[in-house]
Every structure is written in structure tokens, then in C-alpha cells.
Amino acid sequence: MTATPLAPIAERAQAPATLPEITAGSLTWRPASVDDAPALVALYGAVGDADREPYRESLEEVHDDLAAPWRSLDADSLLGFDADGELRASGFVNTAPGDVRAVRAFVFGNVHPERRGEGIGTQLQAWLIARARQVLAASGKELPARIATFAEDDAPESKLRLHEQGGFEIRRWFADLKRPIVDGEPVPEVELSGSLRLVPWSDELDEPARLAHNDAFRDHWGSEPQTPEQWANGRSEFAPTWSYLVVDDAPDVDALLADPSTDEETAASLRAGEPLVVGYQLASRYEGDFALRGYSFGYTDLLGVRRAYRGRRVAVVALAAGIRAFAADGMDAAVLDVDTASPTGADGLYARLGYVKVSGSHMASIEL
């Protein structure tokens, strides 16, 4: 069946000529800057406490997010201050420069718990959606388009209702998984076959790891390729000694180049004789969340395997290496987040390794 042609993005986005005013709460509004990171950490902390969120953002994380080189804070952010100069609300529209299959605009809004119920959230969300439509229309990318937001499954009903009123529909669910280390099952001993080799993460292999990630997640709904600047951004909590890669020391270059699914960046890397990373487990140490959760943990941010190498136990080996590294540093548990509809069957892998769900979240979107 032939797909219905998309209307031009400028038409589908229905971008308004002007953005709606926010008058509720009598706040004073201005764009954010990197210098606002401490105030944002305080706001996010108050929201997280009130909404019982299972994480908190550190000052370094917030600073990295604000300082991302592709961000346009002047146009895509808004902070609301009360008469005493205290930050009471924030809104951000984020886009990703690497989008090639669907162009996305992520919206994030927060209102301090003490100022909820005044209509600030409703008006802020309207501003965010309107700005997201402008961003998508201006992208010039004639692709499927999406305005997306996230929430914990047990978020306050008022927040979930606000998203629904804004036209968002839940599209994807995620599970936060935990595997005990001290009292958990032994980590499986699995060997790699052929010319595959497990190695620690290194600066020299970081770019090959990015290429592996883009290949591994190409068939995941909602995933888009990461540019080098995206890949390198937001690593304030990155734990190199907990991160592992699997490389192929003798790849069948001719077969990979002949495979139509091999992307252009990987093909160029193969022709240049550069290392081929085929799997990876990249981890972070979110130490600020240890007390919040009541236990220390190592967090697997990313786990993936190139499609041509699936079925060779690469993911098990990389993840097991990470768990052993967590254990060696005295962590109580291993933690990760998984898309419950992952096409690779990752949820089954995690269950076999002893991971169990402790909480859930979802992505809601307006599809254009």
C-alpha cells in the first residue's frame, strides 16, 4: 500500500505568527541563560519532591543541558519569576540536530508546587506547544513531525490531565528496572565468539561507539541518529570505568559494505580501516540519587548492538561487564530504563539477568 504523501511541514505544523502571552500568576517572564542553572536545580528539586519523582538533576547536568551548542535559549525557553525574584516556573523547547527520520520538538514545563492551581501551567503549556510548532515549521525538514513530552506514570493527575488537554496522547511506555547486586543472582559468564573482543571504553573508541549506536537504534521507534556534538554532550555523570565496548578485530568489510543497511558513516569508517565497535554499554554514576532511592547503583544509560551482530551474545557480555564494574565499586544495584516495546527484545534480556521493574514513565506526543 502506498503511503499518503505528507503535506509540507510548514502547513502541518500550523505555526502561529505570535506566541500567546502568559498572564496567570503575575510572574515576570524572560528567556533562560546558563547562569540560571542553580535556580533551575532548586525548582526541579521542589517539583521532584512534590511529585515523588525517582530522580533529581544535578547542577552539572542542568548546566550541560543549557550549554548544548545547538540550543537557542533566547527563543526556545521561558522562566517565570515572582515579585521577590524567585524562579517559580520554567519552560523549554528542545530539538535535536541529528533528526533525519522524524523531526521532533520536545517540550518541558515546570511550575513550583506552591504556585500550582493558578493557571500558570495551562498557559505555559500553550506557549510551549505554539513555540514547538514554530520550530518545526522553520526546520524545513519534510518529514513526519512530533511534539513530545514525558511524565512519570504516577505523576499527579493534574499533570497528566494537563497533557491530555493540550492534545498529547501517550505513545510509548518505559520501565525503570533494578537488579540487586549483593543479593542478586550471579552475573553470567559468557564468552564472545570469533574476532569479537570486550574492551573498556576509551576516548579513541568513542566515535566508533557513536556509529554503533546510530546503527543499533535505527529500527527503534522514536530514535534518531546522534551527531558528534549530541553524542558528546551531557556527560557530567558519565562513568568511563563502568563503560564497556565490544569490537570486531577482523570484520568482514566487503560483506558489510555490500549490505544495503550499512549507513554511510559506517561505510566510510570501514574504508578508512578504523575500529569497528559492534556493541556498547555506557554507564553513569548519579550519586545525587543514591539517598533518594535508598541504595547506591550504577546506571546503564545506553546498551546496544549493531544489527548485523545481533544473536551473538554481545549485549549480555557488555552488560555483564558493567554489572561487575558496579559491584567492584561497592554499588548495591544495577539500574536502567527500557522501552517496553523495544524491537530487540531487550526487556526479555533484562528479565533473564534479574532486572525487575520499580517504576514507569511514558512519552506523550502530538503527531503532525
Rounded average pLDDT over 15-21: 95
**CA–CA distance from 269 to each of 139, 202, 207, 231, 303 (Å)?**
29, 17, 10, 17, 21
State the Cα–Cα distance between residues 89 and 93, nearest whole angstrom: 14
pLDDT of residue 40: 98
Amino acid at 217: F
| CATH code for the part of the protein at 9-167 | 3.40.630.30
Average pLDDT, the chain: 92
pLDDT of residue 104: 93
Is residue 344 over pLDDT 70? no
Could you please report the per-residue DSSP string of 227-274?
PHHHHHSS-TTB-GGG-EEEEESS--HHHHHH-TTS-HHHHHHHHTT-
According to CATH, the topology of domain 176-362 is Aminopeptidase (3.40.630)
pLDDT of residue 209: 97
Rounded average pLDDT over 218-238: 89
Lowest-confidence segment of 3-12, 72-81, 187-196 by average pLDDT: 3-12
Residue 242 CA, distance from chain mean position: 19
pLDDT of residue 1: 46
Amino acid at 52: R
pLDDT of residue 164: 93
pLDDT digits (tens, 9 = 90+) for 113-124: 999 999 999 999
User: Which is nearest to 165 in space by CA: 132, 122, 130?
Assistant: 122
Per the CB < 8 A criterion, the answer to whether 277 and 250 are in contact is no
Per DSSP, which regions of the chain are E strands? Answer: 28-30, 77-81, 87-95, 103-111, 145-152, 169-180, 196-200, 244-248, 276-284, 297-305, 333-339, 356-367
Is residue 251 over pLDDT 90? yes
pLDDT digits (tens, 9 = 90+) for 295-336: 999 999 999 999 999 989 999 999 999 999 999 999 999 999
Domain boundaries, the chain: 9-167, 176-362
* 297, β-bridge pairs: 333
pLDDT of residue 346: 65
For residue 74, what is its C-alpha cell? 533566547
pLDDT of residue 25: 94
User: Which is nearest to 358 in space by CA: 154, 127, 184, 170?
Assistant: 154
pLDDT digits (tens, 9 = 90+) for 20-62: 999 999 999 999 999 999 999 999 999 999 998 989 999 999 9
Is residue 183 over pLDDT 90? no
pTM: 0.91
**348: helix, coil or strand?**
helix
State the Cα–Cα distance between residues 326 and 334, nearest whole angstrom: 7
pLDDT digits (tens, 9 = 90+) for 131-174: 999 999 999 889 999 999 999 998 889 999 999 999 999 999 99
**61: helix, coil or strand?**
helix
**280: helix, coil or strand?**
strand
pLDDT digits (tens, 9 = 90+) for 314-324: 999 999 999 99
Could you please report the per-residue DSSP string of 102-157?
SEEEEEEEEE-GGGTTSSHHHHHHHHHHHHHHHHHHHH---S-EEEEEEEETTS-H
Lowest-confidence segment of 284-288, 342-346, 348-352 by average pLDDT: 342-346
- The answer to whether domain 9-167 and domain 176-362 are alike in fold is yes
Rounded average pLDDT over 259-284: 95
**Which has more pLDDT, 2 or 50?**
50
State the Cα–Cα distance between residues 302 and 277, nearest whole angstrom: 14
